[in-house]
């Protein structure tokens, strides 16, 4: 890869986003990661300095139209953007409705609108806002760039995941739609859909909740390869999407063949 290529990764201060950003920087991309947590942003800066990587960390809120516009103006000051990886997201488990554990006569508990809107705004609206600015910048600067949207192996539906699965299905629909619209400008749009990853988030939750750890261990039997994936394996797929000039409108699934989303 040419040293002149510039990449941006949202949600890039931890987990999959950081793995993708690190891989891109290692392969010569001048990479900007976006995040909100000042402490994590500083850790990324320290890592980049220690490893002498062309990687910088910038604070931005992908759910804010103003913040996204401001950060794109800053990022493109040093040159055009060639690759945008839409990774920011959060999986919030909520049943549509459930009975309370102790029936106090209050009836059913239902999925709150607040949780729905918060999840969809981050996982879908954020992709729209960032993707729109990335595409507009590429067209203005005559760059035949690539937008990679991170979806999920659960996009077809999953138990207890109304907001998250709806948002990720929307991400895949945006990917196909944008590939139709932006192909005339030479811009490719690809989705990468990871399955469960044996990463920081899973390990933290499993440590905090032994019941969740047992559930996840049992779930592995539904995965044909019998194990969870790694963040590095998903980063491989993102790099493939970024490099292959004839891939667009596709969803690259990196999920080991499962598990099915319906398993309660």
Q: Would residue 164 show up in a list of annotated catalytic residues for this protein?
A: yes
Exposed e or buried b per residue across 2-28, where buried means at least 16 C-beta atoms within 10 angstroms of its C-beta: eeebbbbbbbbbbbbbbbbbbbbbeee
Q: Which residue among the candidates 159, 164, 180, 215 is catalytic per the annotation?
A: 164
Sign of the torsion angle spanned by Cα atoms 236, 247, 224, 90: positive
> Cα(158)–Cα(2) distance, rounded to whole angstroms?
40
Q: Which residue has the tokens 């059913």?
A: 108
Q: How far is CA 169 from CA 1, 93, 120, 251, in A?
A: 31, 16, 11, 11
- Quote the tokens at residue 108: 């059913």
Q: What angle do CA 231, 234, 235 make, to 5 degrees?
A: 85
Q: What is the DSSP letter of 183?
A: G
**Three-class secondary structure of residue 193 per DSSP:** strand
Are 38 and 59 a contacting pair, CB within 8 Å? yes
- Quote the tokens at residue 218: 């049992």
Exposed e or buried b per residue across 187-218, where buried means at least 16 C-beta atoms within 10 angstroms of its C-beta: bbbbbbbbbbbebebbeeebeeeeeeeeebee
CA–centroid distance for 113 within its chain: 23
Query: Which residues does the annotation mark as catalytic?
Result: 164
């Amino acid at each position: 890869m040419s040293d002149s290529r510039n990449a941006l990764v949202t949600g890039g201060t931890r987990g999959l986003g950081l793995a993708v950003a690190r891989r891109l920087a290692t392969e010569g991309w001048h990479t900007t990661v976006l995040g909100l947590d000042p402490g994590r942003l500083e850790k990324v800066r320290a890592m980049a300095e220690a490893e002498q990587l062309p990687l910088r960390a910038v604070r931005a809120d992908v759910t804010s139209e103003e913040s996204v516009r401001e950060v794109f103006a800053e990022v493109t000051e040093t040159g055009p953007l060639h690759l945008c990886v839409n990774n920011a997201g959060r999986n919030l488990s909520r049943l549509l409705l459930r009975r309370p554990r102790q029936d106090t006569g209050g009836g059913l508990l239902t999925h709150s609108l607040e949780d729905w809107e918060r999840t969809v705004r981050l996982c879908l609206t954020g992709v729209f806002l960032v993707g729109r600015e990335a595409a507009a910048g590429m067209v203005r600067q005559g760059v035949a760039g690539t937008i990679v949207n991170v979806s999920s192996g659960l996009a077809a539906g999953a138990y207890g995941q109304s907001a998250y699965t709806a948002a990720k299905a929307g991400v895949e629909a945006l990917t196909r739609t944008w590939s139709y619209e932006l192909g005339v400008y030479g811009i490719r749009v690809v989705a990468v859909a990871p399955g469960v990853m044996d990463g920081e988030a899973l390990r933290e939750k499993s440590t905090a909740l032994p019941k969740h750890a047992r559930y996840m261990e049992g779930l592995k039997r539904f995965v044909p390869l019998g194990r969870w994936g790694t963040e590095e394996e998903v980063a491989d797929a993102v790099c493939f999407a970024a490099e292959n000039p004839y891939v667009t409108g596709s969803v690259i699934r990196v999920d080991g063949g499962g598990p099915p989303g319906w398993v309660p």
